[in-house]
Amino acid sequence: MLVIKKWEMWKYILSMSWGTILVGWGILGNASCAPILIVQFGWDEEETKLYNSILSTIGLLGIMMGSIFGGPIITYGRRQAIFIMFFIMPIGVGLTLIRTLPTMVIGRFITGAVSSVYQMCNIKAVQETVPTAYRGVYGTTAGAFIAVGVFCVTVIGAITLPTDKDKYEDDKMWRITYGFPLVIVFF
């Protein structure tokens, strides 16, 4: 008879789900920083519509592309895929911390793609290891951790970013929001 140690199963699934927080960051990572970056880049109204839209949606494009093309990476095994992404994510984050539009766009795309591979590893882990009777309970972690990622980005923005618009020009705290994925990767 198969004995399920629920706490052990939860620890495993939660550890596999940890990287899924990055999908939430990929979805909302630019929202709280946008007003500051608009001022710092000096964009006019038309440029703001274009460039802020690009910065906001490129992470989602990365998530989609990572989901489509991440399958071959996972065929070598979840653990190897996670290790590969562990080395790629800091490159993407590093690019987002350089305040030029091209580097930030490339960095957000990379981080979005990497985060979707983390999510795929989580989903595959649940499918392969959790008994069918428990998949409903343990399978919710991916969605829950995406929401945690969105929540974290919102809270970080609320805590670190200035409320006074006069301080937007010299603010460097937006890098905390953009650097957030490093905490997830190295924690």
The pLDDT tens digits for 41-94 are 999 999 999 999 999 999 999 999 999 998 888 888 888 998 899 999 999 999
The predicted pLDDT at position 77 comes to 86
pLDDT score, position 2: 60
d(CA 149, CA 27): 9
Q: What's the CA gap between 116 and 120, in Å, rounded?
A: 6
Average pLDDT, the chain: 90
Residues 6+ apart with CB under 8 A from 153: 24, 25, 28, 29, 31, 32, 177, 180
d(C-alpha 98, C-alpha 163), whole Å? 23
Report the candidate in 185, 31, 56 with the shortest Cα–Cα distance to residue 117: 185
Query: Which residue matches tokens 């981080």?
Result: 111
Q: For 115-171, what is each residue's pLDDT tens digit?
A: 999 999 888 888 888 888 777 877 788 889 999 999 999 999 999 999 898 999 999
- Of the ranges 62-66, 99-103, 183-187, which one carries the lowest mean pLDDT score? 183-187
Q: Residue 127: CA atoms inside 13 Å, Cβ hemisphere, count?
A: 7
Residue ranges per domain, the chain? 23-186
What pLDDT is recorded for position 14?
Answer: 83
Q: Decide: 118 and 82 in contact? Cβ < 8 Å.
A: yes
Q: What is the pLDDT of residue 11?
A: 84
> 23-186: what CATH class?
mainly alpha
